[in-house]
Structure 1
Amino acid sequence: MASLKEVRNRITSVNSTMQITKAMKMVAAAKLRRAQDRIIQMRPYAKKLNELIAQVSQGTEVGASSPYTQVREVKNVLIIMVTSDRGLCGAFNTNVIKAAVAFINENYPTQLEKGNVSVLSLGKKGSEAFARRGIKVDNEFTDIFQRLSFDTAKEAAEKVMAAFAEGTYDEVVLVYNEFKNVATQIIRTEKILPLVSEETEEKTSNTDYIFEPSEEEIILELIPKAIKLSVFKAVLDSNASEHGARMTAMDKATENGGELLKALKIEYNRSRQAAITKEILEIVGGAEALKGA
C-alpha cells in the first residue's frame, strides 16, 4: 500500500491536471462556436458552386479544355491531408492519418511502390506521421491554422493547381475530417483534380447555358475558384472538427480524473485509517507490556 505522502502527491497532481483539462475544454468550446459558424455559413455556397461547376465545366468547350478538367493516366498522386498542429484531441489526427494510409494502399499501390505518391500536409501532425513512413511530404503549409484565412488556403490551392496543370501530378485528393457535431467527425476523401468525374460528364454534357458576359470568362474564373474553395472548406471543416474533438477529449479526461480522484481519496482514507489503527495497537501493546512489568 502506498504511503500517505505518495497518495497526497497523486491527489494534488490529479487536481492540477483536472484544472488544466477543464480550462482546455472551455477554450475549445469558445473556439468551436466561431469555427462552427464559419463552416455552416460556407457549406451552402460551396455546395451550389460545385454543382454549377460540375454542370458547366464539361458541358461546354471552354470547361472541357480547362487544364484542371483533364483526365490523364494516373502516374503521380498528391494527397492533401488536413490534420491539426497539436495533440490532446483524442483520435482526431490518428483517424485521418489511418484513413489516408488506407486510401493510398487501396487506390494507389503501384504509385506508392514506385515512390510516386506525395503528401501536402496542412497541419503539423500529418507531416510528422508521413515523414516517418518515408513518403515525400511538403511542409510548406503546416502552419496554416496559425493564420487561418481564405488567402492562406488559396496559396496552397494555387500551388497544387499549378503543379497539376504542369503535369507534376495526375490526381489530387483531399483527406480531412468533416464536422458533424461536437462528438462526431466524419473522414472524407474527395478528389479535387481533375475537377469533374466521368459520371458527371455523362450526365451534364447535353446541358445548354446562356453566358453573360462570356462563356470563356465565366468558366475560367469559376473553375479555379471552386478548387480553392474546396481546399478552404476542408480546412474550415477540419478546424471545427479539431475543436469539437478536443472539447470531447478534455471533457472525458476531466471525467476520468474525477473517478481517479475518488479512488485516490478512498485509498488515502484507508491508508490513514490503517496508520491510526497501527498507532493505537502500538500504544495498547505498550500499555499491556507496562502492566505486565
Structure 2
Amino acid sequence: MGIAGLVDLKKRIKSIQNTKKLTKAMALVATSKLKKTRGSLERNNTYFESYNEVMSEIIPTINKESKYIKRNKGSKDKLIIVITSDLGMCGSYNFSLVNKVEELTSGNMDSSKIVVIGEKGKSLFKRYKFNLLDFDGKVSDIPSIDEAKVIFEYGYDMFEKGLVSEVILVYTWFKNPLVKQPVDKVMLPLQIKDEVEVQSKEEFDIEGNRDELMDALIPSYCNSMVYNALINAKTAEQSYRMETMNSASKNAGDLISSLEIKYNRIRQSAITQEISEIVGGSEAQG
C-alpha cells in the first residue's frame, strides 16, 4: 500500500474519531436523562407500592359482577398497549418488546388489538407485520400524569364499551442498570389473588356507597398503573441507550487503535523502502 493508501487510512481514522465523539456525547446525554428518570421512578415506586397494598385489600371485596372485575363476554379480543421509544440507538430495547408481544399473541394476531406508543417502536412493529390501531399518544423523556391519562382513558374506554375483553400493558420494567426486562401487566379487568380473597372479605370493609367509591378509585388506580409503566419504560430506554453508546464508543476506540497500528506499520515500511532506494541509488552512483 502506497501513499494513496495511507491517505485513505488517515481519512477513515478521522471519520471514526468523529463518530466516537458523537457516540460519547449521546452516552453523556442518555446518562443525564437516566439520572432524572430514575429519580422520578424511585419516587413513584414508593407511591405506587403503597397504592398497590391498599388496592390488594380493596379489590377482593368488589362484587364479582362489577365491570372492573368481570371479563367482557361481548369480545374475545384483548387490547395490548406497548410502550416503546420515539428514537433509536437503544440496542435491543424495542426488539425485546416485539418478542414479548409475539409471546402474548402466540401467533394469533386476529384476537389482539395492538397500540404502540413511540414512533420508533411503531415502525418496527409494522416491519414485523403487526396490525396496529391508530393512536397518537405521546410520551416525553420525563412522563407526566396527563400523558398517562390519555393512554389510560383510551384503554379504559375500549374496555368499558365491550370492544375488548382485557387491557394489557407491555413495557420494560427497570430495577437497576443490570436488571431490566420486558413485562406484561393486565390493567383491566382487575386481578384478584385467591389467597388474599378470604382474608380481605373478613377484615376489610367500606363505609358509604361502595359503587361510588369504586367508580372514583379504580380509574385513578389504573391511571397510576399506566404512569408507573411509562416511567419504568423511559428509565429502561435511557439505560439501554447509555449502554449502547458506551459500547459503540469503546468499539470505535478499538477500531481506531487497530487502524493506527496498521497506518504506522505501512508508513514505516514505506519509509524503509525509500531509505533502501536512496542507499541503493547512492551505491550505484559510487
**1:216 is matched by which residue type in structure 2?**
D
Which SS does the other structure have where 1:78 is aligned?
Answer: strand
What are the Cα deviations for residues 182-203 of structure 1, in whole angstroms up to 9, with x where unaligned? 2431221111111124636744
Give per-residue Cα distances to partners, 1:233-292, cap 9 Å, x unaligned: 11100101111111111111111121111111101101111111121122223223333x
Q: CA RMSD in A?
A: 2.2
The alpha-carbon deviation at position 82 of structure 1 amounts to 1.0
Q: Could you say what secondary structure the match of 1:148 adopts?
A: coil
Cross-structure match for 1:251: 246
Q: Could you tell me which residue of structure 1 aligns to residue 182 of structure 2?
A: 187
- Asked if 1:138 corresponds to 2:133, the answer is yes
2:26 counterpart residue number:
24
The residue type paired with residue 82 of structure 1 is I
Alignment partner, residue 93 of structure 2: 92
Cα shift at 1:13: 1.1
2:157 to 147, 162, 167: 162
5+ residue gaps, structure 1, are none
- What secondary structure, in the 3-state scheme, does the structure 1 residue paired with 2:140 have? helix
Compared with structure 1, are the counterparts of its residues 147 and 139 closer, same or farther at alpha carbon in structure 2 (3 Å cutoff)? farther
Q: Which moved more, 1:208-217 or 1:275-284?
A: 208-217
Calculate the TM-score normalised by the size of structure 2. 0.90
Percent identity reads 31
DSSP 3-state at the match of 1:190 = strand
TM-score w.r.t. the length of structure 1 is 0.88
The Cα offsets for residues 206-238 of structure 1, whole Å up to 9 and x where unpaired, read as: 234343554233222111111111111111001
Alpha-carbon contact 1:172-1:194 (below 8 Å) kept: yes
List alignment gaps of at least 5 residues for structure 2: none
Equivalent-residue separation in structure 1 for 2:136 and 2:198 (angstroms): 36
Give me the whole-angstrom Cα distance separating, in 2, the residues matched to 1:135 and 1:145: 24
Match of 1:79 in 2: 80
Change (3 A) 1:60 1:184: closer
Q: Return the alpha-carbon distance in structure 2 between the equivalents of residues 102 and 12 of structure 1.
A: 44
Q: Deviations over 1:57-81 (max 9, x none)?
A: 33133xx443222124571011111
Moved runs in structure 1, 4+ residues, more than 4 A? 200-205
Partner of 2:67: 67
SS of 1:136's partner is coil
Cα distance between partner residues in 2 of 1:138 and 1:145: 21
The AA in structure 2 aligned to 1:44 is T
Tell me the amino acid that sits aligned with residue 22 of structure 1.
K
Q: Which residue of the partner structure matches residue 36 of structure 1?
A: 38
Do 1:59 and 1:204's aligned partners in 2 also have CA atoms closer than 8 Å? Answer: no
What code does the residue aligned with 1:79 have?
A: I
| Counterpart position of 1:6 | 8
Pick one of 146, 152, 167 that aligns with 1:151.
Answer: 146
Change in 2 beyond 3 A, CA 1:252/1:80: same
Aligned residues: 283
Q: CA deviation at 1:205?
A: 6.0
- Paired with 2:51 and 2:40, the residues of 1 have a C-alpha distance of 17
- Cα distance change, pair 201–68 in 1 and its aligned pair in 2 (3 A): farther
1:44 CA displacement: 2.3
> 2: CA distance between counterparts of 1:57 and 1:245?
35
Distance 1:257 1:30 in 2: 22
Choose the corresponding residue for 1:217, options 212, 216, 227.
Answer: 212
